[in-house]
Chains A and B, each alone.
Chain A
Amino acid sequence: MEHGLSGRQLFVEQLKPAAKAESTRAEFEAEAMPHVNDLFRTAARILGDGTRAEDVVQEVYLQAWKSYHRFEAGTNCRAWLFRILFHCINHHRRKWFRFPLLKESEEFLEANLVAPPPTIDHLTDAEILAALDRIPDEFRAVILLVDVEEFAYKDAATILSLPLGTVMSRISRGRKLLRAQLQSVAESYGIGKKLAKEQGL
């Protein structure tokens, strides 16, 4: 008799609740677990604390699991997880501490910055990360999403619940601030000056 269902559909419908839960859990892990490292690193850079980042990432997975029934298969799981991540970070931020907004001096700095490309090849990972950590949180978040995690602006805007224009302006200002930070680190080692000298400048 033709019942119009494929063998797989029949199999899924006939699964017992416990088995169905196990199968959903396996699907969830297969979709979500590959992104755990990216989530942790972003959380650590935003929060500046590995232990808190661990807690937040665990919370992200718990929240994601609880609302997994609303997740549409085939859509961008990674973006969905990052969105939950920033939701959790905002929640914890309110609990733990208040992030300073962009200070006037920083605004002045980035507005007047002529950003020569720093010689970043001579800097260590730790120095680059330290420079990243020194730029205000709202810019750092956008740089992490767009430049590090390679999300499209549109996705970054969705993840951060911001208008697209705000994301674009923040990425531009954030990159300038980062270059300035890197330049000052480089100069403190005399790298920029040395390079300029070599170039006869």
Chain B
Amino acid sequence: MSSEPMDSIPRDEQLAARLRQAVRSQQVPPELQVKIRQRLDAEQQRQEQGVWRAAVWVPAAAALILCISAGVAYQQGHLRLTAGQRESFMNSMLVKVSTTMRPGLDDHLHCSVYGRVPDTIPPLAQAVKDLPPQFAEVLTVVQQQAPQSFQLYSAHLCTRRGRKFVHFQLKSESKLLSVIITRRNVEESFVRDQILPELQEHGVALYEARAARFQMAAIETRDYLAYVVSDLGGAENRKLMLAMAPGIQSVLRKLES
């Protein structure tokens, strides 16, 4: 670093030299370098300990977070790898709702939650190829009333615990929605179970239940039970069922007559 162009102020060399001599005559404590080295040693040790602590605690904390997340996910029904674990989860959900609600929830859990959900939505003709023709009108209702973010990926007839279900499966990016219709067994009735409807509108009595993240809304006719089961909130799920109920009831009554 050259200073020549800048050092235009004449320096009193005699004064500067004398000043340098005086300043440099000051005694520097002989132990200063030792003290500095000791502080550097202490700092280095602290840094190394910090690195060691981080090396231990960061993986430990990560492992703990992983365990907790896995635990929470397991409680919510994820990470159930074996059939036994899945059945156990399904049973734990079913006991949270009334007997009449159970068939709909059971079919949703078995067929949608633990069933195969395609990554891409198949063409409609392929999605509905296993749908009994007498429920084709319900398909129209479902398509008209389902939220725009949901797309139908399957409409079929399935059997669960010896019972038949007509199952309309829809999915959005992260949520599942089922519209399920099944024949009512004699002993199954919200009315008989003295369950009060959540609301009654235009002659539709709507029943609701919730088990963990699964929200259910149901209606019953003389011979059938119809359910909407989803991961949506209570209000949204209810609104959906209310919108679909007249159309579904109309189809079911035709079938009953």
Residue ranges of A at the interface with B (Cβ–Cβ < 8 Å): 18, 21, 25, 28-29, 33, 36-37, 40-42, 44-45, 50, 54, 57-58, 61-62, 65-66, 76, 79, 117, 120-121, 123, 125-126, 128-129, 132, 143-144, 147-148, 150-155, 164, 168, 171-172, 175, 178-179, 182
- Starting from the known contacts A36-B33, A125-B25, 7 additional A-B residue pairs (CB-CB under 8 Å) come to A25-B44, A28-B40, A36-B32, A37-B28, A120-B14, A148-B19, A172-B9
- B31-67 vs A: 1/0 string, CB under 8 Å? 0110111011001100010000000000000000000
Chain B residues in 8 Å Cβ range of A182: 15
Pick the contact of B26 from A44, A54, A65, A171 — CB < 8 Å? A44
Chain B residues in 8 Å Cβ range of A66: 43
Q: A36-B32, A125-B21 are in contact. Are A152 and B12 (CB under 8 A)?
A: no
Closest to A171 in B: B9
User: How far apart are A55's CB and chain B's nearest CB, in angstroms?
Assistant: 9
Contact B20 A148 (CB under 8 A): yes
User: How far apart are B34's CB and chain A's nearest CB, in angstroms?
Assistant: 11
CA distance A14 to B102 in the complex (A): 65
Contact B9 A36 (CB under 8 A): no
CA distance A125 to B18 in the complex (A): 8
Contacts A/B (CB < 8 Å), 6 sampled: A21-B48, A54-B32, A126-B22, A147-B16, A151-B3, A153-B7
CA distance A28 to B12 in the complex (A): 36
Contact A152 B23 (CB under 8 A): no
Interface SS, A side: helix
Closest to B27 in A: A50
Q: A65-B43, A154-B3, A171-B9 are in contact. Are A58 and B20 (CB under 8 A)?
A: no
Contact A147 B25 (CB under 8 A): no
Chain B residues in 8 Å Cβ range of A143: 19
Closest to B13 in A: A147
Interface SS, B side: helix
Contact B40 A178 (CB under 8 A): no
Pick the contact of A117 from B12, B28, B36 — CB < 8 Å? B12
Chain A residues in 8 Å Cβ range of B39: 58, 61-62
Instruction: List the 7 closest pairs (A to B, CB-CB), nearest first.
Output: A152-B3, A128-B22, A125-B22, A147-B16, A125-B25, A153-B6, A61-B36
Chain A residues in 8 Å Cβ range of B28: 36-37, 40-41
- B82 at the A interface (CB under 8 A): no
CA distance A76 to B43 in the complex (A): 24
- B1 at the A interface (CB under 8 A): yes
CA distance A117 to B35 in the complex (A): 42
User: How far apart are B115's CB and chain A's nearest CB, in angstroms?
Assistant: 51
Contact A175 B15 (CB under 8 A): yes
CA distance A178 to B22 in the complex (A): 14
CA distance A65 to B42 in the complex (A): 12
- B11 at the A interface (CB under 8 A): yes
Contact A153 B43 (CB under 8 A): no
Pick the contact of A168 from B9, B11, B16 — CB < 8 Å? B9
Contact B1 A76 (CB under 8 A): yes
CA distance A125 to B21 in the complex (A): 8
Contact B33 A33 (CB under 8 A): yes
Contact B19 A132 (CB under 8 A): yes
- B24 at the A interface (CB under 8 A): yes
Contact B40 A65 (CB under 8 A): yes
User: How far apart are B24's CB and chain A's nearest CB, in angstroms?
Assistant: 7
Contact A152 B43 (CB under 8 A): no
- B257 at the A interface (CB under 8 A): no
Chain B residues in 8 Å Cβ range of A21: 44, 48
- B134 at the A interface (CB under 8 A): no
Chain B residues in 8 Å Cβ range of A79: 1
Chain B residues in 8 Å Cβ range of A123: 18
